Amino acid sequence: MGYVIRSIRADEWPAVKELRLDSLRDPVAHLAFLETYEEAVARPDSFWEDRAAGAAEGETGAQHFIAERSDGRWLGQLVVLLEEAGTTDWAGFPVERRQGHVVGVYVRPEARGGELTKALFAAGLEWAWGAGAERVRLIVHEDNGRAQGLYRKVGFVPSGVRVPLPQAAGESELEFVLERGGVHQGS
């Protein structure tokens, strides 16, 4: 399967929206994303325009990578947010050093199981390291074994940090990290 990994352009917000909505229809979306399909589909176009513009090619605070097939179909995505030392993250935890935070990982079912996901991670990690990140992290639901297996395959390990989910009493997400200079098997 031929594809190219690249950053999105701001004007590609309709495709960003389409792929996000598709990801929210995945059977494990309730474990993988903090947003529902119903919430996302109700958002105005201006939300999607801003989302794409904020992580498009050339942006310094975030980067949205996609795997694009030769016919233009987007097969998968990964977004890296840059978190600055001295700030607080989305869950209220202090950010102790400059780090990348991987979010929005999704690969269409027909493209899973090959090298595409590793290639998306390689691009995201290269961008994060180039932006001065000391480590890259991601948060994964404790019951999302499929994702945890994938993240381990690309070099991430559990940090021991648990993030309680206020919207789901008794459930938690786990932080996985990759330190700069750590082994990345997708490289």
Per-residue pLDDT of 113-124, as tens digits, reads 889 999 999 999
Find the helix packing angle between 45-54 and 13-23, rounded to 10°.
Answer: 100
Q: How far apart are CA 96 and CA 77, in angstroms?
A: 27
pLDDT value at residue 186: 43
Compute the average pLDDT of residues 57-65.
96
pLDDT at residue 187 above 60? Answer: no
Give the pair of three-digit tokens for residue 186.
Answer: 């997708």
Question: Cβ neighbours of residue 103 under 8 Å, at least 6 residues apart?
Answer: 79, 80, 81, 138
pTM of the model: 0.92
Query: CA nearest 137: which of 157, 114, 116, 107?
Result: 157
Question: Cβ neighbours of residue 145 under 8 Å, at least 6 residues apart?
Answer: none
Low-confidence winner among 86-95, 103-112, 154-163 (lowest mean pLDDT)? 86-95
For the chain, what is the mean pLDDT?
Answer: 92
Per-residue pLDDT tens digits for 119-159: 999 999 999 999 999 999 999 999 999 899 999 999 999 99
Say how many Å lie between the first and final Cα of the chain, rounded: 19
pLDDT at residue 185 above 60? Answer: no
pLDDT at residue 81 above 60? Answer: yes
